[in-house]
Amino acid sequence: MPDARPGEAGKGAPSAATVKNRRDGTPRPARQSLFARIAYLWRTTTVRLTFLFILIFVIAAIVLLAFMAYQSSVVLQRQQGADIDREIRQFQRMEMQQGAQAMALAVQRFANRPGAGVYYLGDDLGHQLVGNITGLPDNVLSTDGFYTFSYDRGGALGAGQGGPPDSTGYAVARSVTLPSGLRLVVGRDVVERRGFSEIIFQGFAIGMLGIVLLSVVAGGLTANRVLKRIDSISGTSAKIMSGALSERVQVTKRHDEFDALATDLNAMLDRIEQLMVGLKEVTDNVAHDLKTPLTRLRNKAESALREGRTPEQLREALETTIAESDQLIRTFNALLMIARVEAGTPSGAFAETDISTVAEDVAELYQPVAEDAGLALITDVTPGISMMANRELVGQALVNLLENAIKYAGREDGDGKVVLSAGRTDGRIVISVADNGPGIPEGDREHAIERFVRLEKSRTEPGSGLGLSLVSAVARLHRGELRLEDNAPGLRAVLDLPSD
């Protein structure tokens, strides 16, 4: 139970703890008084919803039960009315066929039966002849109709009533004038029926009480359980916010919606952590890869100042300085571009792009470069492949792949070739640049896509080491991926993009 701690709280620490918690804004104070816990519970959606449901449920139950009680009393009443009318018809028929005397005897016989039956037979002057009730109101004795009235029980002439004498009864009855002029009142005592209503009402009240108690307990338990899960999630996020990035939300084995939420949150946290680690790596790499040329630049300028004597020497030093700074700018631009591509460029730059044309254009642009490098550049492009894409970025990606291939695919035997192909495979657009050069060992391929990675043997070549990272970022921007595969021999870089 969450409020199992007030014992500890009662020893003086609580107010300090609460104040501290409020000050640094921790969302769920761990130590709190029972009152604070209840107040907190009352603010929560779960508890409020639970109470709302209880309220709705109770109202619905009351309406339902009231309707049932009313219906059953109506049915009972109708039943009694039918019984009364049947008996009256019976007496009327008897009077007509066998005479008033026989009828009066029959009434008396009925009146003497134990039960709820109420009978009265009197003359037109109001004198009672037979029956088991007295003290009827005057209007019942003077006018035909259906009445509800109280009467004296057991005061009947020669009555064998079950009830205690002189007690007051309550009856529904029909009063009729018989053809002979006699007044007949036939009815039913309704005290019994009242009792029935009372029983229904009592049952209803007890039931209601039970329902309310049960739902409060059940609601409280549910709310508490839900809140525990939520508290656990917000506790974890508080820890993460305070810097513990490797904390994760607990996932139970119940596979409920909280576990789904927790799994998603954890996936998000993984991604964030991955980005943070990536960011740190990039910062480190930027520091290294930008500082190294910056240092070289500075050294060049200094040594030119110190040693430069002839104008030619000075000029040469300055030109190297400019070339170095151009390389720096290039690296910097590539970094910015990757960052912007990874952040997702605005969709405005996306348009229906003929990928085949882009591939052909880039191949044409690099054809002479490849030839000069002693490589055959072969294109195998299916015409008419188009997709929603950023033409500039796809072009840049292909340029990077081609430059890479041309830079590293050179072979001693002069038989090197680079194949640029583009086609559709299983509803995807696959663009690849394959060479038959030395390739990249399997273990290094994943690594090669990372920023600033220039595999050891290429350290001496010019380049920022960002080429493949940019290609990979462009692929991700187009919801695809960059794969490096073994071309046996050589390297095959595959840009795998969804076509829609």
Q: Which residues form the interface with other proteins (CB under 8 A)?
A: 319, 322, 326, 329-330, 333, 336-337, 340, 345-346, 348-349, 361, 364-366, 368-369, 372, 390, 392-393, 395-396, 399, 403, 406-407, 462-463, 467
Q: How far is the CB of 489 from other proteins (least distance, A)?
A: 23
Dihedrals phi, psi of 149, to nearest 5 degrees? -155, 165
C-beta of 131 vs 395, nearer to other proteins: 395
* Cα–Cα distance, 403 to 408 (Å, whole number): 9
C-beta of 280 vs 315, nearer to other proteins: 315
Q: How far is the CB of 348 from other proteins (least distance, A)?
A: 6
* Cα–Cα distance, 275 to 149 (Å, whole number): 88
Count Cβ neighbours within 10 Å for each residue of 475-488 and write b for 16 or more, e otherwise.
bebbebebbbbebe
C-beta of 199 vs 365, nearer to other proteins: 365
Q: How far is the CB of 358 from other proteins (least distance, A)?
A: 10
Q: How far is the CB of 27 from other proteins (least distance, A)?
A: 40
* Cα–Cα distance, 423 to 356 (Å, whole number): 8
Q: Using the structure block, give the residue that is written with the tokens 């004795």.
A: 141
Q: How far is the CB of 469 from other proteins (least distance, A)?
A: 14
DSSP state, 443? H
Residues 6+ apart with CB under 8 A from 10: none
Say if residues 131 and 119 touch (Cβ distance below 8 Å).
Answer: yes
Q: How far is the CB of 270 from other proteins (least distance, A)?
A: 30
Of 200, 131, 142, the closest CA to residue 169 belongs to: 131
Q: How far is the CB of 360 from other proteins (least distance, A)?
A: 11
Residues 6+ apart with CB under 8 A from 282: 335, 451, 452
C-beta of 39 vs 322, nearer to other proteins: 322
Q: How far is the CB of 244 from other proteins (least distance, A)?
A: 37
Say if residues 106 and 91 touch (Cβ distance below 8 Å).
Answer: yes
C-beta of 45 vs 333, nearer to other proteins: 333
C-beta of 244 vs 365, nearer to other proteins: 365
Say if residues 493 and 445 touch (Cβ distance below 8 Å).
Answer: no
Size of the chain in residues: 500
* Cα–Cα distance, 130 to 152 (Å, whole number): 14
C-beta of 117 vs 467, nearer to other proteins: 467
Q: How far is the CB of 439 from other proteins (least distance, A)?
A: 21
C-beta of 179 vs 462, nearer to other proteins: 462
* Cα–Cα distance, 44 to 63 (Å, whole number): 29
Burial class from Cβ neighbours inside 10 Å (0-12, 13-18, 19+) for residue 126 reads: exposed
C-beta of 117 vs 437, nearer to other proteins: 437
C-beta of 227 vs 397, nearer to other proteins: 397
Q: How far is the CB of 52 from other proteins (least distance, A)?
A: 50
- In single-letter form, the type of residue at position 257 comes to E
* Cα–Cα distance, 414 to 227 (Å, whole number): 71
Say if residues 377 and 367 touch (Cβ distance below 8 Å).
Answer: yes
